[in-house]
């Protein structure tokens, strides 16, 4: 089915009618997500608009687990991203409301949590520490004792007491089990008691027992008053008993919505009987795939879900039907409503919105949009009013209570407004602070976590320290006490350029550091755990003492061994700032590359360029004019020249030329085209320039984090 033409969409207006008997939960209307795809037609690549989601309307009741299911390519994850505000502004059309109030992506982030399919956690933190840091990020307004009590309670409720002090672990470190790791991931995201909880394939990769345990805990969370929506693939019969509400998608269309127990009746209405002993939901998906593989297509089932128009039957061996075939509508039961409207369909297909129609016009054809709920009004209403009434966990301890939903007075949206095609953030709402903590507490928490990780995984910094210590020892033994001769000058020049290079290379192992953390950063910042600026600042502060240690060790080993002159303090500062600049550059590169292989390739390429144009092979005066800019941006230029100026900014004699003329320090600098008079501050200008480059790369790193590292569809 071809997507609605964009020109037609501009003429479409969807009347969003407030729910009458739907008292709580998530309500979504006419969600449409269109992307442009390239398609080869007769040897030419043409751009075609494709609807990944096509006018999906429905609801997810509060206090229940809503499962999104469907065959492969149905749009389950896309739908979850749409209602979770994880699709970029301008790409999604429709409306999402929570408890009858319009939500924008920013507000959804503040009141919800999203558990990704992959468990992105720090492997060397324990279960307790992981949840405690999550509490520090998301519960800024309460005391530390209250946070600890909340974490302890959550550990008990998630069944993690036996793993409380166990490391999360990874491929190289033994830690918690897969099911426990998944429950920790859920705990991290529900520590603040979100009103909305989204989970993408929470049972993926788990055995049946672990999968059931995870969904059981999610079921408890829903019963505590949260609205839970999850995608799931082939749930077991035990898990099906924990699913309260079902949304079935195919090809981006809504196929079915309602209680899992009503699937059999739904299939009966389209003329299909569930075979004896077969699961009704699995059979429904089989039927959907049969229609998808026929000439009729799934659009016929989508039409039935919207309007009750019965789809044509599939005849074995005959797929010559057309999807526009006219079928007899399902008999409807009508009764007057207070507003003069009617309710359509029997109780198994009645909308929680009293089947309020959405009228819209496209190409002159008026169609009626209705929700397709399955739950009888009296059953649904009683469970919404008291979600714990039918729960087997009614007498158990409650999971952490959900965050209160904003009052309707916080919104200025008129319920009679039409939503013309646009984005979900058409309405902005002031709902308190965006982050739970201010900048400084966030930064301090991140610093504490960084140091804890470094203390338990010291290999990264110890390896750099050992490399620089070994290289310093090599230089001290290769060029001990250089003589005042041309050879002595050459030895010192070689030492200075080698030092500039080795300090650049020593930071290359920082490439995978952020790449490994990037997924954790994206998960945590997707729902405002902390600011990108806090993360950038904390990372910088964490590096500072370790970089200082590396610089001072190298300086102490080489300074006296090579009988260097000038200021030892300046020598140390140049080495320190050089490490800082290089580290900032490498961290920036790691933020823009997709993997560490490309990161290493990029860093090595820039290292070669910076080395070539730093002034060692050709001094700055001999570099061709069209390449002089490379000399200015090379991060090796300034430490190399700074070390030379510290050593040779003097009229002392360091040797004799072949003709017998004396070679002074100033003469060496002049021959290298380094203009630095005795007493000038140019060597400190080089330090300032290096600091400027360090700040520049850190700012670029922040900008990438802030605007380009978002787990969001475009």
User: What would the pLDDT profile of 34-48 be if each residue is shown by its tens digit?
Assistant: 888 877 777 778 888
Q: Using the predicted structure, report yes or no on whether residue 350 has a pLDDT greater than 60.
A: no
pLDDT at residue number 40: 74
Q: What is the DSSP string of 240-270?
A: HTT--EEEEEETTEEEEEE-GGGHHHHHHHT
pLDDT at residue number 339: 36
Residue 90 in 3-state DSSP?
Answer: coil
pLDDT at residue number 544: 94
pLDDT at residue number 714: 54
Q: Considering the chain, what percentage of its residues have pLDDT values greater than 90?
A: 42
Q: Which residues pair with 113 in a beta bridge?
A: 197
Q: Using the predicted structure, report yes or no on whether residue 109 has a pLDDT greater than 70.
A: yes
Tell me the pLDDT of the chain averaged across its residues: 79
**Averaged over 165-185, what is the pLDDT?**
90
Q: Using the predicted structure, report yes or no on whether residue 244 has a pLDDT greater than 90.
A: yes
Tell me the torsion sign for CA atoms 392, 395, 401, 404.
Answer: positive
pLDDT at residue number 35: 86
Helices (H) and strands (E) in the chain, counts: 23, 16
How far apart (Å, rounded) are the C-alpha atoms in residues 195 and 160? 23
**Averaged over 694-701, what is the pLDDT?**
95
Q: What is the DSSP string of 190-226?
A: HTT--SEEEEESTTTT--HHHHHHHHHHHHHHHHTT-
- Name residue, tokens 């060496």: 668
22 — pLDDT class (breaks 50, 70, 90): low
* Residue 343 CA neighbour count, 13 Å, CB half: 19
Q: Using the predicted structure, report yes or no on whether residue 346 has a pLDDT greater than 70.
A: no
Least confident of 27-31, 114-118, 340-344, 511-515: 340-344
Q: What is the pLDDT of residues 572-619, one digit of tens each?
A: 999 999 999 999 999 999 888 888 788 888 888 998 899 899 888 888
pLDDT at residue number 316: 60
Query: Which residues have CB under 8 Å from 213's CB, separation 6+?
Result: 159, 179, 183
Strands 196-200, 112-115: pairing kind: parallel
Q: What are phi and psi of 315, to 5 degrees?
A: -105, 130
Residue 57 in 3-state DSSP?
Answer: strand
Q: What is the pLDDT of residues 522-573, one digit of tens each?
A: 888 888 889 999 999 999 999 999 999 999 999 999 999 999 999 999 999 9
Q: Using the predicted structure, report yes or no on whether residue 380 has a pLDDT greater than 90.
A: no
pLDDT at residue number 317: 52
Domains of the chain: 25-118+194-307 (3.40.50.300), 439-708 (no CATH)
Tell me the torsion sign for CA atoms 41, 47, 52, 56.
Answer: negative
How far apart (Å, rounded) are the C-alpha atoms in residues 172 and 175? 9
Q: What is the pLDDT of residues 625-680, one digit of tens each?
A: 899 999 899 999 999 999 999 999 999 999 888 888 899 999 999 988 888 777 77
The pair of structure tokens assigned to 659 is 């003709």
Q: Using the predicted structure, report yes or no on whether residue 473 has a pLDDT greater than 90.
A: yes
Q: Using the predicted structure, report yes or no on whether residue 352 has a pLDDT greater than 60.
A: no
pLDDT at residue number 571: 96
Query: Which residues have CB under 8 Å from 604's CB, separation 6+?
Result: 508
Q: Using the predicted structure, report yes or no on whether residue 340 has a pLDDT greater than 90.
A: no
How far apart (Å, rounded) are the C-alpha atoms in residues 563 and 141? 57
How far apart (Å, rounded) are the C-alpha atoms in residues 269 and 346? 11
For residues 297 and 401, which has the higher predicted lDDT (pLDDT)?
297
How far apart (Å, rounded) are the C-alpha atoms in residues 702 and 714? 21
Q: What is the pLDDT of residues 407-455, one digit of tens each?
A: 333 323 333 333 333 333 333 344 557 888 899 999 999 999 999 999 9
For residues 536 and 381, which has the higher predicted lDDT (pLDDT)?
536
């Amino acid at each position: 089915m071809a997507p609605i033409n964009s020109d037609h969409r501009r003429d479409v207006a969807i009347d969003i009618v407030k729910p009458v008997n739907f008292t709580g939960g998530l309500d979504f209307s006419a969600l449409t997500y269109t992307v442009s795809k390239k398609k080869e037609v007769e040897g030419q690549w043409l751009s075609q608009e494709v609807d990944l989601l096509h006018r999906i309307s429905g609801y997810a009741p509060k206090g229940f687990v809503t499962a999104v299911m469907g065959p492969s390519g149905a749009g389950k994850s896309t739908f979850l991203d749409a209602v979770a505000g994880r699709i970029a502004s301008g790409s999604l059309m429709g409306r999402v409301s929570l408890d009858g109030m319009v939500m924008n992506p920013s507000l959804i982030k503040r009141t919800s949590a999203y558990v990704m399919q992959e468990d992105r956690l720090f492997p060397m933190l324990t279960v307790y520490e992981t949840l405690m840091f999550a509490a520090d990020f998301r519960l800024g307004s309460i005391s530390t004792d209250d946070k600890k009590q909340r974490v302890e309670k959550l550990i008990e409720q998630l069944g993690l007491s036996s793993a409380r002090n166990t490391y999360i672990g990874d491929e190289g470190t033994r830690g918690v089990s897969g099911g426990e790791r998944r429950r920790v991931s859920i705990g991290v995201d529900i520590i603040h008691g979100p009103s909305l909880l989204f989970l993408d394939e929470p049972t993926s990769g788990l055995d049946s027992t672990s999968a059931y345990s995870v969904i059981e805990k999610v079921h408890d969370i829903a019963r505590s008053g949260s609205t839970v929506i999850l995608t799931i693939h082939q749930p077991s019969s035990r898990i099906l008993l924990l699913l309260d509400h079902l949304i079935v998608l195919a090809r981006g269309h809504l196929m079915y919505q309602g209680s899992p127990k009503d699937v059999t009746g739904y299939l009966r209405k389209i003329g299909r009987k569930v075979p004896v002993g077969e699961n009704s939901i699995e059979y429904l998906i089989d039927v959907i795939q049969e229609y998808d593989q026929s000439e009729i297509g799934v659009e016929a089932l989508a039409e039935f879900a919207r309007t009750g128009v019965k789809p044509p039957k599939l005849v074995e061996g005959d797929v010559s039907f057309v999807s526009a075939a006219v079928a007899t509508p399902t008999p409807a039961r009508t009764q007057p409503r207070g507003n003069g409207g009617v309710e359509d369909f029997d109780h198994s297909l009645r909308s929680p919105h009293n089947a309020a129609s959405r009228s819209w016009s496209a190409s002159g054809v008026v169609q009626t949009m209705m929700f397709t709920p399955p739950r009888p009004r009296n059953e649904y209403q009683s469970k919404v009013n008291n979600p714990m009434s039918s729960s087997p966990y009614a007498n158990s301890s409650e999971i952490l209570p959900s965050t209160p939903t904003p009052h309707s007075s916080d919104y200025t949206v008129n319920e009679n407004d039409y939503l013309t095609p646009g984005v979900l953030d058409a309405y902005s709402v002031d709902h308190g602070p965006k982050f739970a903590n201010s900048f400084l507490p966030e930064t301090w928490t991140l610093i504490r976590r960084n140091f804890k990780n470094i203390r338990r995984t010291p290999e990264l910094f110890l390896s750099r320290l050992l490399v620089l210590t070994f290289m310093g020892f090599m230089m001290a033994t290769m060029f001990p006490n250089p003589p005042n001769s041309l050879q002595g000058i050459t030895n010192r020049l070689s030492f200075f350029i080698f030092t500039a290079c080795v300090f650049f290379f020593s930071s290359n192992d920082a490439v995978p550091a952020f790449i490994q953390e990037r997924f954790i950063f994206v998960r945590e910042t997707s729902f405002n755990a902390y600011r990108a600026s806090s993360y950038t600042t904390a990372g910088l502060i964490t590096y500072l003492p370790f970089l200082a240690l590396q610089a001072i060790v190298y300086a102490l080993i080489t300074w006296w061994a090579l009988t260097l002159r000038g200021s030892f303090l300046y020598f140390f500062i140049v080495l320190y700032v050089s490490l800082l600049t290089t580290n900032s550059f490498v961290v920036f590169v790691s933020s823009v590359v997709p993997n560490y292989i490309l990161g290493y390739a990029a860093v090595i390429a820039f290292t070669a360029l910076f080395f070539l144009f730093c002034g060692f092979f050709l001094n700055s005066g001999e570099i061709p004019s069209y390449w002089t800019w490379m000399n200015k941006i090379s991060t090796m230029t300034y430490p190399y020249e700074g070390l030379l100026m510290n050593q040779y900014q003097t009229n002392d004699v360091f040797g004799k030329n072949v003709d017998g003329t004396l070679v002074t320090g100033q003469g060496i600098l002049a021959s290298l085209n380094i203009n630095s008079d005795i007493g000038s501050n140019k060597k400190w200008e080089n330090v300032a320039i290096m600091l400027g480059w360090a700040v520049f790369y850190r700012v670029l790193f922040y900008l990438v984090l802030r605007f380009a590292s978002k787990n969001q569809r475009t």
